[in-house]
Amino acid sequence: MQLPPETLARLATVGWSDAITLPEDARAEHVPARVIIQHRNGYVVHDGAQEFTVQPAARFLRRSLDPVERPAVGDFVLLKPGKPATIEIVLPRHATLSRAAAGERYQRQLIATNVDSVLVLMGLDGDFNPRRLERYLALIQSSGAQCVVVLTKADQHEDLDALLEDVLDVLPPDIVVHAVNAKDPASVAVLHPYLGPGRTAVVVGSSGVGKSTLTNTLLGVERQATKAVREHDSRGRHTTTFRALIALPQGGCLIDTPGMRELKLTGEEDLEAGQFADIDALAMQCRFGDCAHQTEPGCAVRAALESGELDPERWASYQKLRDELQAQASSLEAQLKRKGEAKVANKALGKRLNEKYGQR
């Protein structure tokens, strides 16, 4: 079975490409679409013209089924029409981003599928952290997606060439690195090759690194349009409004989900999700997303220590464990440190906070 050209053109705006093949059991009545949101008991798909809610076929709900075989964000699926329509077939994936599920050590959790490139954003400011970069790389390298390192805030860095050279030195040779000013359309044009028709990219990186700014510059719209709403979700940390799939003027699309943005590997995140979830919950209430719980104003951890809500011994053992994990520093970080790049990583927190919150 073949899809009509107009259907293919429509689907290209949600990332459909030649890499997607229809299985033999595809029928003419099937409606092809892409999964853009996964809910607890349903999915939202986009067919290139509109988005709508669908349900998975019963076989996807069987408990014996490996969760990896269930439809996931990014999947191209064939729907059986109905009210609501039903996902009958998940088309073969050409890339699979997954991570260890929090708490359950040996479970894999799908983050997204059929992603062509992962733009890993890291700021050339206080955000610069080679260790985090290495963890992102580890996660992406087994996925089938291309990893593209995007160093943002290049306009704010004086010694760019030296820094770039050192970054390139420690990265595997197949990793592309671009330094950009996320606010400048001419500067981010170097990323267009990853964003053409039929291509899907995701943008990951820590809060404040410039994900929204880059997205808006690519879209050619004012920051206002997506940033007007400062959403305080329960974690009180994220300022980005939820949009799952963004069709870009370059022809391709961005998948942008909270789960994607928070792409995390193992390490202290697991620690926080598990036995120290209470401490993590406290830290989420700190005024600043990257609070070090030392002298920052509005620190919920220190407040809890002072009020007795948090046991100082528990806090101490958490810190000890966290430090141990951090001590397993990657060779990448060690190498960069030797080159004196630690200076960049340790740049005054104050500067970062100013950049992030000063103008708001």
Note the residues at the interface with ligand GTP (CB under 6 A): 152-153, 155-156, 181-183, 205, 207-213, 238-240, 261, 355-356
Q: Compute the least distance from the CB of residue 267 to ligand GTP, in Å.
A: 20
Residues facing 52 on adjacent strands? 45
Instruction: Please tell me whether 155 is known to bind a ligand.
Output: yes
Tokens matching residue 355: 């950049």
Instruction: Please tell me whether 142 is known to bind a ligand.
Output: no
Residues 6+ apart with CB under 8 A from 116: 15, 95, 145, 146, 194, 199, 200, 201, 252
- Name the nearest CA neighbour of 195 among 262, 264, 146, 141: 146
Residue nearest to ligand GTP (CB): 210
Contact partner at residue 139 from ligand GTP, Zn ion, none, CB < 5 to 8 Å by partner kind:
none
Instruction: Please tell me whether 253 is known to bind a ligand.
Output: no
Contact partner at residue 293 from Zn ion, ligand GTP, none, CB < 5 to 8 Å by partner kind:
Zn ion
Q: Give the number of other CB atoms < 10 A from CB of residue 126.
A: 22
Pairwise CA distance, residues 105 & 271, whole Å: 11
Contact partner at residue 211 from ligand GTP, Zn ion, none, CB < 5 to 8 Å by partner kind:
ligand GTP
Residues that contact Zn ion, how many (by CB under 5 A)? 5
Alpha helices, DSSP H only, in 54-184? 130-141, 160-170
Residue among 320 and 338 whose Cβ is closer to Zn ion: 320
Residue among 307 and 331 whose Cβ is closer to Zn ion: 307
Instruction: Please tell me whether 154 is known to bind a ligand.
Output: yes
Contact partner at residue 286 from ligand GTP, Zn ion, none, CB < 5 to 8 Å by partner kind:
Zn ion
Residues 6+ apart with CB under 8 A from 212: 223, 226, 227, 239, 240
Element (H, E) at 343: helix 342-345
Sites for Zn ion among residues 301-360 (CB under 5 A): 301
Residue among 199 and 261 whose Cβ is closer to ligand GTP: 261
Residue among 73 and 78 whose Cβ is closer to ligand GTP: 73
Instruction: Please tell me whether 147 is known to bind a ligand.
Output: no
Provide the Cα torsion 197, 202, 205, 207; round to 10°. Answer: 90
- Name the nearest CA neighbour of 283 among 295, 275, 291: 291
Sites for Zn ion among residues 267-306 (CB under 5 A): 286, 291, 293, 299, 301
Contact partner at residue 213 from Zn ion, ligand GTP, none, CB < 5 to 8 Å by partner kind:
ligand GTP
- Name the nearest CA neighbour of 344 among 165, 156, 124, 181: 124
Q: Compute the least distance from the CB of residue 211 to Zn ion, in Å.
A: 23
Q: Compute the least distance from the CB of residue 302 to Zn ion, in Å.
A: 6
Q: Compute the least distance from the CB of residue 37 to ligand GTP, in Å.
A: 18
Instruction: Please tell me whether 57 is known to bind a ligand.
Output: no
Element (H, E) at 44: strand 42-46
Tokens matching residue 223: 């920051």
Instruction: Note whether 45 binds Zn ion by CB under 5 A.
Output: no
Tokens matching residue 280: 């993590």
Instruction: Please tell me whether 207 is known to bind a ligand.
Output: yes
Binding residues for Zn(2+): 286, 291, 293, 299
Q: Name the site residues for Zn ion (rule: CB under 5 A).
A: 286, 291, 293, 299, 301
